[in-house]
Amino acid sequence: MYLNSVKNVSEHTFIAYRSDLKEYTTFLTHHNLAIEDVQVDTARLYVSQLIKTHSSPTVNRKLSVLRGLYRYLRKLNVVHTDVFSRIESASRYRRLPEVLSRQEMISLLSYPITDFESLKISLIIHMFYSTGCRLSELLAMDVRDVEVAQQRVLIHGKGNKERYGFLNPSTLTLLERYLPLLKEVTLTEDALFIGKRGRRLSASSCHSILERVAKEVSLRVTLTPHMIRHSFATHLLDNEAGIRIVQQLLGHESISTTQLYTHVTQKRLKQVYTQSHPHGRKRNADERDNNHSGS
């Protein structure tokens, strides 16, 4: 009634809000809590559960609904504190990035080369994985940025900041094949990667290329440039590269941004430990036996 008469929200919004409140009520019932008994720690627990199952915009909407609810309850003196007002919006939270396995990366890096176009595609994949560059950084690369003798490429990052990305042997081999052929193509720019009309490759074209490649190699996920960047960082950390080194290679302004990848690595380490440790294997086997016996 309050939402319809006072807030005058649309029917669609009313239904969404009602669903949000019902979800919160279910959470309180499960934890045997009355709404006036909820403390900040419990509110944080609820939000952490939302983040695991909902997108950031949806979590923010649910937070907004709960803040409004508690403001209303404060006016009625049902509660004395708006526990959700002290919790940051979901835009500050980031989901763990999707990471490709080593075998999946090998499949991508083994993309078959039959002509100039497939050579370019293979080089794009190698360049992403060799340097960990962003999509915008790869598209901005010019031929003059490549330093084959020094085995590196100059990357033009955010805020006009520059850094060098290192080129591994397989990427260098592809470049040595690609650059002479590139000179034979009529160019309108000095771009390292070009589209079919000789102009600098566009972001949409690069996305289309990766989506096509993912289907051709039967990848389990939709391949994106950022996914390869995530994999680059995670695989380095898996091989004990220092986080400060990874920060510099990625061009991160803050170390806190790079620390996101340590969570991915820890999760992967835990999976390997559980699967490999003798006691971990025994526990998993026992759990499977119990599940089978109860089914």
CA distances from 184 to 175, 187, 236 (A): 15, 9, 36
Find where tokens 């708006």 sit.
82
Count of CB atoms situated within 10 Å of the CB of 261: 25
Work out the average pLDDT over 159-183: 93
CATH number for the 102-226 domain, one of 1.25.40.20, 1.10.443.10, 3.90.550.10, 1.10.3210.10? 1.10.443.10
226 catalytic residue (yes or no): yes
Instruction: Measure the CA dihedral 193/199/204/205, to 10°.
Output: -60
The mean pLDDT of 35-54, rounded to a whole number, is: 84
Residue ranges of domains in the chain: 2-92, 102-226
Q: How confident is the model at residue 1 (pLDDT cuts 50, 70, 90)?
A: very low
How far is 167 from 244, CA to CA, in rounded Å? Answer: 19
Catalytic residue among 226, 267, 283, 288: 226
Q: Which of 134, 152, 200, 230 is catalytic?
A: 134
Strand partners, 165: 153
18 is catalytic: no
Looking up tokens 């008469």, which residue turns up?
Answer: 5
Q: Which CATH class name applies to 2-92?
A: mainly alpha
Residue 7 falls in the annotated catalytic set: no
CA 83 remoteness from chain centre: 30
C-alpha to C-alpha distances, 121 to 113, 169, 174, 200, nearest whole angstrom: 9, 17, 10, 14
Task: Map residue 152 onto helix, strand or coil.
Answer: strand
Determine the residue type at 54.
H
| pLDDT reported for residue 188 | 62
The tokens for 15 are: 């239904």
Residues 6 or more apart whose Cβ sits within 8 Å of residue 247: 255, 257, 258
pLDDT, position 5:
40
- pLDDT top residue among 51 and 212: 212
Task: Decide if 261 is catalytic.
Answer: yes
What distance in Å separates the CA atoms of residue 153 and residue 142, rounded to the nearest whole number? 9
